[in-house]
Structure 1
Amino acid sequence: MKCLIISDSHGSEDELQEVIERHRSTVDAIFHCGDSELKHSSPILHDTYPVQGNVDIPGEFPEDRAEDVKGTRVYITHGHLYNIKMTHVPLSYRAEEKGARMALFGHSHVPTAFEDNGVIFVNPGSLMQPRSRPEQTYALAFFEANGEAQIRFLERKSGEELIDLRQSFPANE
């Protein structure tokens, strides 16, 4: 399974569309972790799984969702309702409730990937307003048939991988 993970594009339609089109034909799913500032009817979000961010139009998207992609359960939320800037624990509980192997979130604009209790947590950073580093980022997640996973972070303009952020995770036992 391979998926594209985007967050915090903050109304930047051309940039968002460019990243989606760059990867659309090579991924199994496209997730937007909120703060797109677009309407649900936007053609840019066609065939994607968006969630509601704290600056999105209220009620435009679901607050969270769980999707099964090629046998991998993915939980998606923006993170603001889980106090994600302070701790990942409430999000961890929710991901466990949903039976997720991967939990996707945004809100902090900081790209990160880590594993806790068998769940891989991924924040792709911000497509337009980065914090903690200068690059505007998004992520690709790869899950092998044996359950091993790799998260790669890419720079928005070039699509080049930021090697220092790459994370690999063994299969769950």
Structure 2
Amino acid sequence: MKLLIISDSHGLQDELFGVFDRHAKEVDKIIHCGDSELSKDAFISYDNLLIVRGNCDYDASFNDEINTDVMGLKIFLVHGHLHNVKSSAVNLSYRAEELNAKLVCYGHTHVAISFQENGIIYINPGSFRLPRKRIERSYAILNYQQDEATVNYYDHLGKEILDLKNSFVLL
């Protein structure tokens, strides 16, 4: 299974949908971790999209969080501002454990990172518009097969960011 994970696109529409279209045939789901600053109607043609509301999203029809199962993998999706992720991942991890999630996708910090803690994989794809701590505007693709996960990061043009690549085993 492959997931495209993106966040914090802050009003970019053509470039965002260009990334969606670039990877449409290779991914099973597209995940947007909030702060698109677009209306839900803008995403109408993407039926394989999961998207949450960020602190800069004004369309109240987006959910604040999504807890779902995609091809046997329990996923918790959130922007992160309601969990204070800029200070610590503790609140986020408590919520993920409550939900028995194995994958957490979040944004808000604009910092691209992936890590594993207590058997849960956490992925922040960074910001597609305004990155912090790096110059690349980024997104991630998770390849998950038989309890092994590889996270590859890409810049806005689709060039892989090799030093962010990470692999995990789910227990």
Contact 1:67 / 1:74 at 8 angstroms: preserved in 2? yes
Could you list the runs of 5+ residues in structure 1 that have no partner in the other structure? none
SS in 2 for 1:87: coil
1:137 alignment partner AA = S
SS in 2 for 1:46: coil
Q: What CA deviation, in whole Å up to 9, does each residue of 1:78-131 have, x standing for no partner?
A: 000000011001000111111111000000100000001110000000111111
Contact 2:8 / 2:128 at 8 angstroms: preserved in 1? yes
Contact 1:13 / 1:44 at 8 angstroms: preserved in 2? no
Q: How many residues align?
A: 170
**Paired position in structure 2 for 1:107:** 108
Tell me how far 1:137 sits from its aligned partner. 0.1
Farther off after superposition, 53-62 or 73-82: 53-62
Tell me how far 1:68 sits from its aligned partner. 1.1
Calculate the TM-score normalised by the size of structure 2. 0.96
Contact 1:17 / 1:44 at 8 angstroms: preserved in 2? no
* 1:57-76 paired onto structure 2 within 5 Å: 57-76=58-77
Contact 2:120 / 2:170 at 8 angstroms: preserved in 1? no
**Paired position in structure 2 for 1:171:** 170
Could you list the runs of 5+ residues in structure 2 that have no partner in the other structure? none
**Aligned-pair RMSD on alpha carbons?**
1.1
**Paired position in structure 2 for 1:50:** 51
- Counterpart Cα distance in 2 of 1:21 and 1:58: 23
Contact 2:152 / 2:166 at 8 angstroms: preserved in 1? yes
Calculate the TM-score normalised by the size of structure 1. 0.95
- Counterpart Cα distance in 1 of 2:68 and 2:160: 26
